[in-house]
Amino acid sequence: MKDTRLEKKQFGETPEGEKVYKYTLRNVDGMEVDIINYGGIISRWTSKDKDGNQGNIVLNFNDLRSYMEGGAFLGALIGRFANRISNSSFTLDKKKYELNKNESENHLHGGEKGFDKVVWNAATRIRMESASLILTYTSHHMEEGYPGNLDVKVTYTLKNDNALEVQYEASTDRPTIINLTQHSYFNLSADFSRDILDHELLLNAESYLPVNNELIPIGEYRAVKGTPFDFGKYRAIGDSIFNNDEQLLIGKGYDHCWILDTEKGDLELAASLYHWRSGRRLEVYTTEPSIQFYSGNLLSGYCTIDKKMIYGKRQGLCLETQHYPDSPNQPRFPSVRLDPGKDYCTKTIYKLSVV
């Protein structure tokens, strides 16, 4: 009899002697999601194609050392702040906080040791219709430069309808900022020798945030209509990525934040990704106000182990649901402030099907 299952295996050990485990969530359709409690990383995700064959649709490494050294935030939970903060600083209640610099003068994805590089506490839950992994972590006051002791809980739940729900929760003991996301690289072909340019993408957005040469938003909301950034209808990623467009040249492809056409806080469709060869479709629903679409432009420079390239340019893409980049320094953007007594709670659902 088929049922939901959850298995646990040791995946490795950090240099400090912390044991790392791999948790496999399995549903009645045979879909499996592997998650390691180092970085909350999704290290494998199988999905059927139109012929019924299971294939892994996320870029991954085979061992813990590779995740610790290989770069590119492959499959990881991102925090305290997803995306970039300009000049690695922000001001809160008239006090300036200096963050660790890890991308030139800027702060990216939580810094030198963000949530992608810590060992999370893990608990599991099995129900008839789902299997869940509950990860918790306390980020201490001034970790990477952020104020406040921040208690974080992220729950991955694989359901029998082939949806993976990611729920983010947090609380703090003093005012701080927060912006969490998931950084899996998808390739729905399940053939990582292929790039993602033949994937068709739909983004539920009428505007996006143009950036400067350091990929920091310039503060403008720019309409997508009539530009290479218009994915209002399904369109192949490769259709316009080589256009002589200033923003595409700056990003070396797509690495921008789209402003979602959704009601504030409602769980609505943000993006849909389709690969016609395999028949796989990935739908992304979120309560977040924006989504960062990154077309894997720099993978060949960051996914290296022992100086050997593991993945090449555009062999995977990210769809990162989040608040806007550099929000603490841009008054026009929605607030990312979290105060004591308030709860941070957002949800994103990735739903797979065959079309």
Q: Which amino acids are annotated catalytic?
A: 183, 320
- Please state, in angstroms and rounded to a whole number, the distance separating the CA atoms of residues 61 and 350: 21
Sign of the alpha-carbon torsion through 50, 51, 53, 56: negative
Neighbour count for residue 39 (Cβ, 10 Å): 27
Name the H helices within 258-305: 299-302
- What's the helix, strand, coil split of the chain in %, to 5? 10, 45, 45
| Bridge partners for 345 per DSSP | 169
Cβ-count burial of 170 within 10 angstroms (0-12 exposed, 13-18 middle, 19+ buried)? buried
Instruction: Specify whether the CB–CB gap between 265 and 237 falls below 8 A.
Output: no
In degrees and rounded to multiples of 5, residue 45 shows phi and psi of -150, 105
- Please state, in angstroms and rounded to a whole number, the distance separating the CA atoms of residues 334 and 259: 11
In degrees and rounded to multiples of 5, residue 19 shows phi and psi of -75, 140
Task: Select from 229, 217, 230, 201 the least CA-distant residue to 322.
Answer: 217
Instruction: Specify whether the CB–CB gap between 73 and 299 falls below 8 A.
Output: no
Tokens 């990162």 correspond to 320
Instruction: For residue 196, give the DSSP letter.
Output: S
List the structure tokens of 27: 């549903």
Q: Using DSSP, state whether 229 is helix, strand or coil.
A: coil
Instruction: Specify whether the CB–CB gap between 127 and 4 falls below 8 A.
Output: yes
